[in-house]
Amino acid sequence: MQLFSLEGRTAMVTGCNKGLGQGIAIALAQAGADIVGVNRSAATETAQRVTALGRRFHGVDAALGQDRPEDIVGQALEQASQIDILVNNAGMIRRADALDFTEQDWDEVIDVNLKSVFFLSQCIARHLRERESGGKIVNIASLLSFQGGVRVPSYTASKSGLMGLTRLLANEWAAHDINVNAIAPGYMATDNTQALRDDPKRHDEILGRIPAGRWGTPEDLAGAVVFLCSDAARYVHGHTLAVDGGWLAR
């Protein structure tokens, strides 16, 4: 259906060299979007898979939380004439008991997962306002936007904050035809969960609670992200959509 088509649009996706970000970039390209990938390291495989679909891939080398968002967007616009969609996917996690957690691990996670999301979204929203075109911003939240978790204090704080930020930005920008929403993935088979999957006890505990009976995959986010980035979601603002195999319903 045309309602879900992204033909003629360009999507910026952060952290798309592997994992969930790669799956998101490919899903958007399958729906017709060109991709601007923002990554610390080259997204060679993602670029190959996007171009194989007949879409353009533009790469921006950047370290979120360190490089200026204005510079990142500037580099993107030097390659792509416009940006219509922003998916704030890049994130990091540090694990330690709360009593032992360091200020460095706190700051680095908050800077990447929350601070950079706000200022990158701000830059894109200014670009969209200047064009008077409207657009879509999708933040990748987490189950820990709803729950506390254990041994990941800065990650939980950042993802809880991200859900609140999604609502705030939606409140301010909906009137300008900018949809701001979020996706909260469940337990996905990615690098971020490798430690959990390698721990037999935690692996079995987690899997035993997921009604779907399996860990999620990057492909499981495809429908949700295409929906939120398409005209089908034009009246959806400030919502965080859980894609979790039923975890939160348990």
Q: Tell me what the mean pLDDT of segment 128-150 comes to.
A: 97
What tokens does 235 get? Answer: 């009246």
* Helix, coil or strand: residue 193: helix
Print burial letters for 134-152: b (CB count within 10 Å at least 16), e (below 16): ebbbbbbbbbbbbeebeeb
CA dihedral 46, 52, 58, 59 (to 10 degrees): 30
Above 80 in pLDDT, residue 1? no
Q: Tell me what the mean pLDDT of segment 225-237 comes to.
A: 98
Mind telling me the catalytic residues? 155
Q: What is the pLDDT of residue 10?
A: 98
The CATH fold of domain 2-188+217-243: Rossmann fold (3.40.50)
pTM of the model: 0.97
- Report d(CA 199, CA 85) in Å as an integer: 37
Q: Tell me what the mean pLDDT of segment 18-28 comes to.
A: 97
Q: What is the pLDDT of residue 195?
A: 86
* pLDDT tens by residue, 188-222: 998 888 888 999 999 999 999 999 999 999 999 99
Above 80 in pLDDT, residue 128? yes
